[in-house]
């Protein structure tokens, strides 16, 4: 962020040529500049370029307050926060004012008194744009005092009258004047609180303790809600819906590629410890993780009203990397790579993030997730592998070859199996388990590819498998 402008008084501000404009004018002008330059409008938001972002641009250009409708984990709050980037970098405010007062048109009693007293010598401060954003998670216990304001008993005790505006302690919304105010999960506000927002959105004035306080508040309002709460349950009053200019429907990533880009962007990263193994996740394992989430979003056994967040994919990737790292440390291997035998670990990171349509002894959460993992693996196998190319592998098993895999089976053993079985090396190579520059094999990646191919053959009913303590035996 650059340094604030040098103007320190209203007189200097006038000399600089600065002119007042509303928040919506500011957002609109800055958006037009970005559109003209081809710059990103909401960086780090992935998968919305042809759906959600055009609707946001239209709403801003039209001067609309807006509401994001979508299930959990669809970047609603992130987009609200990123809108701050469309504000001017610095904003002049009256020093000593309570409501980010415009030096040319102050609204708070304190700022008006200062300007009346000091005139053109009124001192000003420069407010950075990241301080022009206020956010509130709507809960049933929120009061009008929280959002709009309340009479301050201390000021009354000092001798002021209740009708004196100087007795007021302003709430979140007035204090967000000349900025963006976001209310998450809007339908969770009590109806009487929703009523209190009506004037703020339309007439831009507020009522506190029975008397009207005329404040020409300048706000851009962003709300978020679950579609079911906002529409069918009647948890939001119709006049409030009518005052939110644009209703924008969000969605989950529609492609595996978008899902994986979000995972790569959002997953936790740690500074590696000394001599810590390097974690590598092959493309087929990444795709499997994304496929699991996409299958969960279509599963009739999982509640689609609650949604299946991208956080499922992120958490599952983090767990797979953790399991692989733990194994590499125990086996003293320099590279850690997730395997099919690690997939059982992601049950724990999945069940807590999905809600089932019905829960009973016949279909426990863990079993439903395990079935989805199996389907995801088979779908990924069918996309990645041509089954006929593995005829030589199947013939080797028909000839009596067996493989015992396990969480702690060293990677070098998989390399030996790959070399021993006809056709296995070519299939592993096709999965990208060799270095693209020199063709060298990385044992840990080979191990992951071999397990993926063996499990895919089992699911295709070409070979059998038996579970044993600590591992799996594949055989004919």
Q: How confident is the model at residue 204 (pLDDT cuts 50, 70, 90)?
A: low
Is 343 within the bounds of a domain?
A: yes
Instruction: Indicate whether 243 and 131 sit together in one domain.
Output: yes
Instruction: Indicate whether 95 and 172 sit together in one domain.
Output: yes
Q: Is the separation of the CB atoms in 408 and 330 below 8 Å?
A: yes
Q: Tell me the average pLDDT of the chain.
A: 89
Does residue 416 carry a pLDDT above 80? yes
Residue-level pLDDT at 153: 62
Residue-level pLDDT at 283: 95
- Let me know the angle formed at the C-alpha of 350 by 47 and 458, rounded to the nearest 5 degrees: 95
Strands 66-69 and 246-249: parallel
Q: How remote is the C-alpha of 340 from its chain's centroid?
A: 27
Q: For the domain that residue 239 is a member of, what is the CATH number? A: 3.40.50.300
Residue-level pLDDT at 436: 47
In this structure, of 177-181, 196-200, 342-346, the range with the lowest mean pLDDT score is: 196-200
Residue 228 half-sphere exposure, CB side, CA atoms within 13 Å? 7
Outline where DSSP puts E strands in 290-370: 335-336
Q: How confident is the model at residue 435 (pLDDT cuts 50, 70, 90)?
A: low
- Per residue in 119-159, pLDDT (tens digit) is 999 999 999 999 999 999 988 888 878 888 776 666 655 65
Does 99 or 365 have the greater pLDDT score? 99
Task: State mean pLDDT over 433-440.
Answer: 54
In this structure, of 42-56, 330-344, 422-436, the range with the lowest mean pLDDT score is: 422-436
Instruction: Indicate whether 22 and 112 sit together in one domain.
Output: yes
Instruction: Indicate whether 72 and 167 sit together in one domain.
Output: yes
Instruction: Indicate whether 59 and 83 sit together in one domain.
Output: yes
Cβ neighbours for 127, distance < 8 A, ≥ 6 positions apart: 90, 91, 92, 93, 100
Is 362 within the bounds of a domain?
A: no
Is 375 within the bounds of a domain?
A: no
Does 278 or 205 have the greater pLDDT score? 278
Does residue 422 carry a pLDDT above 50? yes
Residue-level pLDDT at 362: 57
For 35-68, give the DSSP string.
HHHT--SSTT--S-TTTHHHHHHHHHHHT--EEE
Is 5 within the bounds of a domain?
A: no
Instruction: Indicate whether 346 and 214 sit together in one domain.
Output: no
Query: pLDDT exceeding 70 applies to what percent of the chain?
Result: 90
Task: State mean pLDDT over 245-256.
Answer: 94
Pairwise CA distance, residues 180 & 463, whole Å: 60
Pairwise CA distance, residues 161 & 159, whole Å: 7
Does 436 or 165 have the greater pLDDT score? 165
Q: What is the pTM of this model?
A: 0.88
Q: Which of 237, 150, 149 is nearest to 191 (CA)?
A: 237
- Per residue in 297-334, pLDDT (tens digit) is 999 999 888 889 999 999 999 999 999 999 999 999 99
Is 2 within the bounds of a domain?
A: no
Beginning with the edge strand found earlier in the chain, give each strand of the sheet holding 403-406 in spatial order: 403-406, 471-475, 464-468
For 359-396, give the DSSP string.
--TTS-HHHHHHHHHHHHHHHHHHHH--GGGGHHHHHH
Pairwise CA distance, residues 299 & 310, whole Å: 16
> What is the domain extent for residue 447?
385-476
Last residue of a domain, one of 312, 338, 357: 357
**Domains identified in the chain, total number:** 3
Residue-level pLDDT at 336: 95
Q: How confident is the model at residue 233 (pLDDT cuts 50, 70, 90)?
A: low
- Per residue in 384-405, pLDDT (tens digit) is 999 999 999 999 999 999 999 9
Instruction: Indicate whether 232 and 335 sit together in one domain.
Output: no
Is 344 within the bounds of a domain?
A: yes
Instruction: Indicate whether 119 and 157 sit together in one domain.
Output: yes
Q: Measure Cα distances from 340 to 148, 297, 385 in Å.
A: 55, 22, 16
Residue-level pLDDT at 140: 81
Last residue of a domain, one of 357, 375, 406: 357
Last residue of a domain, one of 194, 228, 249: 249
Instruction: Indicate whether 320 and 464 sit together in one domain.
Output: no
Residue-level pLDDT at 244: 85
Residue with tokens 């744009």: 129
Instruction: Indicate whether 186 and 132 sit together in one domain.
Output: yes
Is 3 within the bounds of a domain?
A: no
Does residue 85 carry a pLDDT above 50? yes
Q: Is the separation of the CB atoms in 303 and 356 below 8 Å?
A: yes
In this structure, of 109-118, 164-173, 426-435, the range with the lowest mean pLDDT score is: 164-173
3-state DSSP: the chain helix, strand, coil percent, rounded to 5? 45, 15, 35
Does residue 361 carry a pLDDT above 60? no
Instruction: Indicate whether 188 and 239 sit together in one domain.
Output: yes
Q: Which of 408, 433, 464 is nearest to 285 (CA)?
A: 433
Instruction: Indicate whether 56 and 184 sit together in one domain.
Output: yes
Measured from the Cβ of residue 402, the count of other Cβ atoms closer than 10 Å reads 15
Residue-level pLDDT at 437: 45
Residue-level pLDDT at 434: 62
Q: How confident is the model at residue 248 (pLDDT cuts 50, 70, 90)?
A: very high
Is 366 within the bounds of a domain?
A: no
Q: Is 98 helix (H, G, I), strand (E, B) or coil?
A: coil
């Amino acid at each position: 962020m650059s340094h604030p402008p040098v103007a320190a008084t209203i007189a200097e501000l006038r000399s600089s040529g600065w002119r007042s404009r509303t928040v919506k004018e500011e957002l609109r002008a800055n958006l037009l500049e970005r559109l003209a330059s081809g710059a990103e409008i909401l960086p780090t938001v992935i998968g919305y370029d042809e759906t959600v972002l055009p609707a946001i641009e239209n709403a801003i250009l039209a001067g609309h307050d807006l509401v994001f409708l979508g299930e959990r984990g669809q970047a609603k709050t992130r987009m609200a926060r990123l809108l701050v980037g469309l504000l001017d970098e610095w904003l002049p405010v009256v020093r000593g004012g309570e409501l980010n007062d415009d030096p040319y048109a102050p609204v708070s009693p304190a700022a008006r008194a200062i300007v009346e007293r000091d005139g053109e010598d009124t001192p000003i401060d420069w407010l950075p744009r990241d301080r022009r954003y206020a956010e509130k998670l709507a809960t049933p216990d929120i009061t009008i005092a929280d959002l709009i304001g309340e009479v301050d008993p201390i000021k009354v005790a000092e001798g002021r009258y209740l009708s004196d505006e100087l007795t007021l302690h302003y709430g979140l919304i007035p204090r967000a004047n000349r900025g963006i105010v976001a209310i998450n999960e809007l339908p969770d506000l009590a109806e009487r609180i929703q009523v209190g927002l009506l004037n703020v959105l339309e007439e831009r004035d507020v009522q506190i303790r029975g008397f009207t306080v005329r404040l020409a508040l300048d706000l851009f309002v962003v709300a978020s809600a679950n579609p079911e709460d906002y529409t069918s349950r009647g948890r939001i009053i119709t006049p409030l819906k009518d005052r939110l200019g644009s209703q924008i429907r969000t969605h989950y990533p529609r492609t595996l590629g978008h899902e994986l880009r979000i995972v790569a962007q959002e997953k936790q990263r740690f500074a590696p410890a000394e001599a810590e193994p390097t974690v590598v996740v092959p493309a087929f394992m990444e795709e499997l993780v994304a496929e699991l989430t996409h299958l969960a979003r279509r599963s009739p056994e999982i509640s689609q009203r609650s949604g299946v967040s991208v956080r499922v994919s992120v958490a599952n990737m983090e767990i797979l990397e953790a399991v692989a790292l733990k194994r590499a440390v125990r086996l003293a291997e320099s590279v850690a790579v997730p395997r099919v035998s690690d997939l059982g670990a992601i049950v724990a990171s999945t069940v807590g993030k999905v809600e089932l349509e019905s829960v009973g002894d016949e279909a426990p959460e863990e079993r439903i997730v395990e079935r989805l993992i199996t389907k995801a693996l088979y779908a990924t196998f069918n996309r990645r592998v041509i089954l006929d190319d593995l005829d030589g592998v199947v013939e080797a098993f028909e000839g009596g070859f067996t493989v015992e895999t396990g969480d702690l089976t060293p990677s070098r053993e998989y390399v030996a199996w790959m070399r021993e079985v006809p056709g296995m090396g070519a299939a592993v190579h096709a999965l990208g388990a060799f270095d693209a520059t020199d063709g060298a094999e990385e044992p840990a990646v080979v191990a992951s590819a071999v397990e993926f191919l063996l499990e895919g053959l089992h699911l295709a009913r070409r070979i059998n498998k038996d579970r044993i303590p600590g591992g799996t035996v594949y055989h004919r």
